[in-house]
Amino acid sequence: MAYLFTSESVSEGHPDKVADQISDALIDNFLAFDTESKVACETLVTTGQVVLAGEVKSTTYLDVQKIARDTINKIGYTKGEYMFDGNSCGVLSAIHEQSEDINQGVDRGSKEEQGAGDQGMMFGYATNETENFMPLALDLSHLILQELAELRRENKDITYLRPDSKSQVTIEYDDNNVPQRIEAIVVSTQHDDFDEDEAMLAKIRKDIVDILIPRVISKLPESLQKLFNDDIKYHINPTGKFVIGGPHGDTGLTGRKIIVDTYGGKGAHGGGAFSGKDPSKVDRSAAYATRHIAKNLVAAGVADEVLVQVSYAIGVVEPMGIFIDTYGTCPFNMTDGEIAEKVTQIFDMRPFAIEERLKLRAPIYSETAAYGHMGRKNETVTKTFSQPFGETVTLDVELFTWEKLDYVDQVKTAFGL
């Protein structure tokens, strides 16, 4: 029987994402000058105010206020009328030294014996329903907001957009879990004030349907373009006026969009947020590692859909175990338990091994903090960082290494494919 599935996304200007981006900008700056930095940094944003809190162990010193302000300005909060802008907001720092009780379980004499930075379970997921092995509803939700942000920055075809926005896409699947059509699209976007509310709503709806959606469709492969039709239900700013937004309209906190950050409700989630955490925190590094495993398994043909779970005890080097669920989509005669056993032989899941394999001790995290940590483009970019006392470093860093299909051949060999 056909069914509907929905995922949502939020823009870089959403208050929770503003907080995530500030936290990850701090991570990047610490790692740029001290690759061994241990950081767990939370951010709160509200009307005219930013609060930074957390624990850090690092040899470098940063101007955290400037980093926060630069991040806010880059997002687009640059006007006093937003009641939150990078040039005038207050920034309070309550960052302090990392607990020695935690650090003793992580730092060891040998890096290979590095313990997990926390206990818990982490999940990775992949499906072959899209080219980047992501769930379609989430992929479309992200793309809608990425294009909306581009339109805002171009300030040409649509000139009234403000940074805060959300999207949601509902997909109809058939009995074989294949996407058939788009049932509904929801877009709520912050905007400048209009003289007449009714004219404003009509204008925004027309621009979203006639300008934004065609741009989104043009970025998709032909097989997915066919899912769009004239019967899609559009809900554009369904509550009406949306002038008050961002941290003035809603307080934002680091780590509150963990489903947006991962798989949009598909697969599973262990509950740990990513942003603001250095890679010794397995909440982050092991979630990336399990995505890497799941994606390579699906790409190699082990299954059409894969969920990978790994779990850790704080301070313990080896994971507690690895669990695999192929949802009955494995095409050959092998149980999920047998697949998990082979995965443990292919992928070293000790925390230090994950850091090395995925090159996680580099300033690569700002790019993850909006529009999802998974399904993104693996590429090398050049980034420059500056300290308060004048030291500047320029680094070539590889982004989204966990999206690489570099283990497909090893997986195929191990499974005889």
pLDDT tens per residue across span 303-336: 999 999 999 998 888 999 999 999 999 999 999 9
Q: Are residues 291 and 347 in the same domain?
A: yes
Bridge partner residues of 52 (DSSP)? 43, 93
Domain end: 244, 267, 288, which one? 244
Q: From the annotation, which residues make up the binding site? A: 14, 16, 42, 55, 98, 164-166, 241-242, 250, 256-257, 273, 277, 281
Q: From the annotation, which residues make up the binding site for ATP? A: 14, 164-166, 241-242, 250, 256-257, 273, 277
Q: Are 368 and 398 in contact (CB under 8 A)?
A: no
Angstrom distance (rounded) from CA 123 to CA 298: 15
Angstrom distance (rounded) from CA 19 to CA 348: 32
For residue 106, the model assigns a pLDDT of 60
The CATH code of the domain that includes 392 is: 3.30.300.10
For residue 100, the model assigns a pLDDT of 61
Q: Are residues 383 and 285 in the same domain?
A: yes
Q: Are residues 306 and 409 in the same domain?
A: yes
Q: Report if residue 359 sits inside a domain.
A: yes
Q: Are 310 and 322 in contact (CB under 8 A)?
A: yes
Q: Report if residue 404 sits inside a domain.
A: yes
Count of other CB atoms within 10 angstroms of residue 20: 33
Contacts of 236 (CB under 8 A, 6+ apart): 186, 187, 188, 201, 204, 205, 208, 209
Angstrom distance (rounded) from CA 405 to CA 390: 39
For residue 116, the model assigns a pLDDT of 81
Q: Are residues 335 and 371 in the same domain?
A: yes
Q: How many domains does the chain have?
A: 2
Please identify every stretch of the chain with a pLDDT value under 50, giving residue numbers as ranges.
none
CB burial of 231-270 (b: ≥16 within 10 Å; e: otherwise) equals ebeeebbeeeebeebbbbbbebbbbbbbebbbbbbbbbbb
Q: Are residues 240 and 368 in the same domain?
A: no
Angstrom distance (rounded) from CA 60 to CA 154: 37
For residue 103, the model assigns a pLDDT of 53
Q: From the annotation, which residues make up the binding site for L-methionine? A: 55, 98, 250, 281
For residue 102, the model assigns a pLDDT of 52
Q: Are residues 180 and 292 in the same domain?
A: no
Q: Are residues 287 and 410 in the same domain?
A: yes
Domain end: 199, 226, 244, which one? 244
Q: Are residues 124 and 150 in the same domain?
A: no
Note down the domain range covering 287. Answer: 120-128+279-415
For residue 98, the model assigns a pLDDT of 66
Q: Report if residue 176 sits inside a domain.
A: yes
Q: Are residues 283 and 221 in the same domain?
A: no
- 107 is written with which tokens? 């730092």
Q: To the nearest 10°, the Cα dihedral for 281, 283, 286, 287?
A: -150
Q: Report if residue 20 sits inside a domain.
A: no
Q: Report if residue 340 sits inside a domain.
A: yes
For residue 220, the model assigns a pLDDT of 96
- 163 is written with which tokens? 């940074």
Domain end: 244, 270, 298, which one? 244
Q: Are residues 338 and 372 in the same domain?
A: yes
Q: Are residues 296 and 321 in the same domain?
A: yes
Q: Report if residue 160 sits inside a domain.
A: yes
Q: Report if residue 66 sits inside a domain.
A: no
Q: Report if residue 3 sits inside a domain.
A: no
Q: From the annotation, which residues make up the binding site for K(+)? A: 42
Q: Are residues 146 and 124 in the same domain?
A: no
